[in-house]
Amino acid sequence: MAITHPSFGTLDDNRIIFFDTTLRDGEQSPGFSMNLEEKLRMAEALSELGVDVIEAGFAIASPGDFESVQSIARKFAKDGPVVASLGRANPADILRSAEALKPAARKRIHIVLATSELHMRVKLRMSPEEVLDLTTSSVTLGRQHAEDVEWSAEDGSRSDPDFLCRCVEAAIKAGATTINIPDTVGYSMPEDMARIFRDLRNRVPGIEKVILSAHNHNDLGMAVANTVAAIQAGVRQIESTINGIGERAGNASLEEVAMALRTRRDALPYTNSIVHQKLLKTSKLLATITGFDVQPNKAIVGRNAFAHESGIHQDGVLKDASTYEIMTPESVGWTTNSLVLGKHSGRAAFRDKLATLGYTVGDNQLNDAFRRFKDLADRKKVVYDEDVVALVDDEVVRG
Ligand code: KIV
Ligand code: ZN
């Protein structure tokens, strides 16, 4: 059934909202803090990428965070993504978020309150009944300052299911328009995620009127799998970050979720607004700003994501790239794939490389050069173009 939401109007049942928290949870990665100008550049890139909601910061955290949220709110004063600010469930946080968000055309106050027995007892030192009351009063206050209020059950995935249902019901009654269940410590497995959201959808009155959201951390490397499972269980907002940055092991990576949705439309028949051709550009901008490259084997945006080294794979890719590529490099912003020459590479890739470098070789010359190449490849990790030139230059003619 279609939902009517204050920021998005009537939403098709199969539309996935992308909530980006690179500038808030992402910035909480040690060493990844960004200055105002850098945050504004990232906000521009996120908007061009097509994200629906930008979590611009935690307005009460520091004067700098307040200024960032306010400046991003000003940037999107006429149109653009919804701008969100996070705060805890207390009046000071909520009012600070409201103040910073004022200039935005579409604003969201995001309120977080822990619901697990452990967090309530050790961290909040509150009883479950107090947490329930605070849920109601904080969301009520949030709604006095914004039509769009997201309520997050911190450590929701480790919370007692009955208590979680009661809290979610209280948040909806008080006016929350998005209900987010974070896997704050990245403990869940995909089946847990699916169970949590199915349970809420089956048991909480009024749940059909709000957008359900998943926010998964990557401590066990399952943030993207958990996000996909949540979507399949009825979640329509996913929270993620560029390059998967975030607290500890990070958050679900936006580029991976977006390309899972695009590549596996058979299993995930949902629409979204991400301009996937801009994924690499956005990833690179974040890496440049933060000074942290993604690891070479990172899906979608890592240097090796479309690189092929083994002879069997290179032979297949030269015949038809779909033998070893499930999406095209161009679809995420790369100009091409690459055949990397190394000790596993075969004759087909070597011949292809020679042709690209402008060498025409007969079969005998190819055999000789290929033997020398294999000797070299045993000594070097990667054989670069200039190595190949050095191997063949004296013996063959550039055609
Ligand atoms: O991981 C978490 O629980 C969070 C909330 C603030 C949404 O980041
Ligand atoms: Zn988080």
What pLDDT does residue 392 have?
84
Predicted confidence at residue 172, as pLDDT, reads 98
Q: Which atom of ligand 1 is least distant from the CA of 152?
A: 7
Give yes or no for a contact between 377 and 388, defined as CB atoms under 8 angstroms apart: no
Is 304 marked as a binding-site residue? no
Helices and strands per DSSP (H, E), number in the chain:
14, 14
pLDDT in tens, the chain (399 residues): 789 999 999 999 999 999 999 999 999 999 999 999 999 999 999 999 999 999 999 999 999 999 999 999 999 999 999 999 999 999 999 999 999 999 999 999 999 999 999 999 999 999 999 999 999 999 999 999 999 999 999 999 999 999 999 999 999 999 999 999 999 999 999 999 999 999 999 999 999 999 999 999 999 999 999 999 999 999 999 999 999 999 999 999 999 999 999 999 999 999 999 999 999 999 999 999 999 999 999 999 999 999 999 999 999 999 999 999 999 999 999 999 999 999 999 999 999 999 999 998 889 989 999 999 999 999 998 899 999 998 887 565 555
272 is in an annotated binding site: no
Task: For 31-62, give the DSSP string.
Answer: T----HHHHHHHHHHHHHHT-SEEEEE-TTS-
Nearest CA to ligand 1 atom 2: 184
Respond yes or no on whether ipTM tops 0.95: yes
How far apart, in whole angstroms, are the C-alpha atoms of residue 90 and residue 94? Answer: 6
Give whole-number Cα distances, 14 to 80, 234, 261, 274, 276, in Å: 22, 9, 12, 15, 18
Nearest atom within ligand 1 for CA of residue 154: 3
CA of 43 to the centre of ligand 1 (A): 20
CA of 249 to the centre of ligand 1 (A): 13
pTM: 0.95
Q: List, chain by chain if needed, residues with CB within 6 Å of any ligand 1 atom.
A: 25, 86, 112, 152, 154, 180, 182, 184, 215, 217
What's the pLDDT score for residue 299? 98
**What separation in angstroms does the CA of 105 have from each of 49, 97, 225?**
19, 15, 33
Six-digit token string for 122 = 């050790």
155 annotated to bind ligand: no
Distance of alpha carbon 74 from alpha carbon 21, whole angstroms? 18
DSSP H/E element including 376 = helix 363-379
- Counting ligand 1 atoms within 8 A of each CB, the residue from 217, 235, 239, 241 with the most, and so the one to mutate, is 217
pLDDT at 396: 56
Q: How many Å apart are CA 59 and CA 85, to the nearest integer?
A: 6
pLDDT for the residue 395: 62
Q: Which of 178, 184, 240 to mutate to test the pocket of ligand 1 (most atoms within 8 A of CB)?
A: 184
Query: Which of the ligands is closest to the CA of residue 185?
Result: 1
Q: Which protein residue has the closest C-alpha to ligand 1 atom 8?
A: 25
Helices assigned H by DSSP within 204-310: 223-232, 254-263, 279-290
Residues 6+ apart with CB under 8 A from 369: 350, 354, 361, 391, 392, 395, 396
- d(CA 43, ligand 2 centre) in Å: 19
Going from the Cα of 325 to the center of ligand 2, the distance in angstroms, rounded, reads 32
- Kindly tell me the sign of the dihedral angle through the C-alpha atoms of 255, 238, 52, 94: negative
Q: Are 131 and 120 in contact (CB under 8 A)?
A: yes
Q: What residue ranges in the chain does DSSP mark as E strands?
A: 3-5, 9-11, 17-20, 53-57, 82-88, 107-114, 148-154, 178-183, 211-216, 237-240, 307-308, 338-339, 359-360, 397-398
User: Which among 25, 218, 247 is the best mutation to test ligand 1's pocket, defined by most ligand atoms within 8 Å of the CB?
Assistant: 25
Encoded tokens for 226: 């958990």
Ligand 1 midpoint to CA 156 (Å): 9
Kindly report, residue by residue over 195-210, the tens digit of the pLDDT: 999 999 999 999 999 9
The backbone region for 287, taken as left when phi is positive above 0, alpha when psi lies in -120 to 50, beta otherwise, is alpha
Please give the pLDDT value at position 394: 59
* Residue 296: other Cβ atoms inside 10 A: 10
Query: Could you identify the atom of ligand 1 that is nearest to the CA of residue 155?
Result: 3
**Could you tell me the distance, in angstroms and rounded to a whole number, from the CA of residue 154 to the centre of ligand 1?**
6
pLDDT of residue 360: 87
* 313 marked as part of a ligand binding site: no
Cα 86 to averaged position of ligand 2 atoms, centre (Å)? 11
CB 289 within 8 A of CB 34: yes
What pLDDT does residue 129 have? 98
Tokens encoding 315: 């032979």
185 CA closest ligand 1 atom index: 1
Buried b (16+ CB within 10 A) or exposed e, 68-103: bbbbbbebbeeebbbbbbbbbbbeebbbbbbbbbeb
Percent of the chain with pLDDT over 90: 95
